[in-house]
Amino acid sequence: MILNDVLNKDNIEVNLNVKNGKQLIHEIAKLACLNPVLKDIKPELVEKVLRERENLASTGLGSGVAIPHCRLPGITTFVVGVATTKKAIDFDSIDNENVNIFPFVIGPDENPKEHLKVLSGMARLLRNPETRSGIRGAKTSDELYNLLRSLLEDVSTAVPRPQSPGMRMLHVFIRSENIFNDILQVFASGETVGAMVLEAHESTEYMSSMPIFASFWNSDLNTFNRIIVAVVKDSLLNQTLRSIEYVCGELQQQTDVMVTVTDLHHALGSLDY
């Protein structure tokens, strides 16, 4: 799903005057119900379900961003919007910082996989400090809406389809825990098939424990090593690589991330969840 397709101008608001999370959820429920998708649903119900989700665990991501979200029976598509607050408020964020950017997502109850893609796509977009700064600087709802449309268009720009149809296997080798979480969201929100994470150990970690090689390495060996293995369609390969670079920077300049791409001549079966 492309976020631009579900972002609604009626669900954008800047500088809400709220003092706490309770008031914020109340205002977001009212804002969400301006969308025709929720025309038969009362704001009180949306507020109740949003609160229940927050009670499970805070949706505060850190860096001044939280993504309140919930799933509702009786709707068939997503309601996506963004609210900012005049002053940052305590929202029990994972970094203990106050929050003033609140994208929100309300989706169909029976489509959790698509819900995850929408959430991950929004979270990935807001990892960029320049994006957050631009959102905070928007003075009107129209200005914020146009900014978001532009940002989402940049991320989802179509790429030429490769001449040879088929599928590719990606191995993404990662040695930075900070970058790992961001790159993982690329695969959670994309059209990959059966993306999985492998925990790995460098060969030097084993060799350093052998007496004959012990003097070649010190105690500062890199102990964080993960490999994301995924299958992508040829038509989505460039877009996936571009999304990875969006969150971690140009791959040619990276020393903690490496991506390999392998042609797949045969693929039998499928993985769905």
Question: CATH code at 184?
Answer: 3.30.70.120
Q: Is residue 8 domain-shared with residue 84, that is, in the same domain?
A: yes
- How far from the centroid of its chain's Cα atoms is residue 104's Cα? 13
Return per-residue pLDDT of the chain as tens, 273 residues: 567 788 889 999 999 999 999 999 999 999 999 999 998 899 999 999 999 999 988 899 889 999 999 999 989 899 999 999 999 999 998 889 999 999 999 999 887 878 888 888 888 889 889 999 999 999 999 999 999 988 887 655 444 434 344 788 999 999 888 889 888 888 876 666 568 899 887 776 665 665 554 445 555 556 789 999 988 888 888 888 888 888 888 888 888 999 999 988 777 776 665
pLDDT for 142: 94
Q: Is residue 148 domain-shared with residue 24, that is, in the same domain?
A: yes
Q: Which of 96, 129, 155 is the last residue of a domain?
A: 155
CA distance 6 to 28: 16
Q: Is residue 125 domain-shared with residue 180, that is, in the same domain?
A: no
Asked, for residue 113, whether it belongs to a domain, the answer is yes
Q: Which of 113, 134, 155 is the last residue of a domain?
A: 155
Length of the chain, please? 273
Q: Which residues are within 8 A (CB) of 132 and not within 5 positions of it... i.e. 6 or more apart?
A: 63, 64, 65, 101, 126
* 105 contacts 172 by C-beta, under 8 angstroms: no
Q: How many domains does the chain have?
A: 2
In DSSP terms, 82 is beta-bridged to 12, 103
Q: Is residue 128 domain-shared with residue 177, that is, in the same domain?
A: no
Q: Is residue 65 domain-shared with residue 175, that is, in the same domain?
A: no
Range of the domain at 81: 3-155
CA distance 32 to 24: 12
Asked, for residue 74, whether it belongs to a domain, the answer is yes
Torsional sign, CA 125, 2, 108, 197: negative
CA distance 33 to 93: 25
Q: Is residue 186 domain-shared with residue 137, that is, in the same domain?
A: no
Q: Is residue 54 domain-shared with residue 130, that is, in the same domain?
A: yes
Q: Is residue 34 domain-shared with residue 113, that is, in the same domain?
A: yes
Q: Which of 129, 155, 181 is the last residue of a domain?
A: 155
For the chain, where are the alpha helices, taking DSSP H only?
A: 3-6, 21-32, 43-56, 112-125, 129-137, 141-155, 177-189, 203-207, 234-248
Asked, for residue 160, whether it belongs to a domain, the answer is no
CATH code at 65?
3.40.930.10
Neighbour tally for 74: CB within 10 Å: 10
Asked, for residue 273, whether it belongs to a domain, the answer is no
Burial state string for 245-269 with b = 16 or more CB within 10 A and e = fewer than 16:
bbbbeeeeebebbebeeeeeeeeee
Whole-structure pTM value: 0.65
Give the position of tokens 């969400």.
Answer: 32
Q: Is residue 250 domain-shared with residue 192, that is, in the same domain?
A: yes
Q: Is residue 100 domain-shared with residue 182, that is, in the same domain?
A: no
pLDDT for 162: 40
Asked, for residue 272, whether it belongs to a domain, the answer is no
pLDDT for 213: 47
Q: Give one word for 52, left, alpha or beta, with left for phi > 0 and alpha for psi -120 to 50.
A: alpha
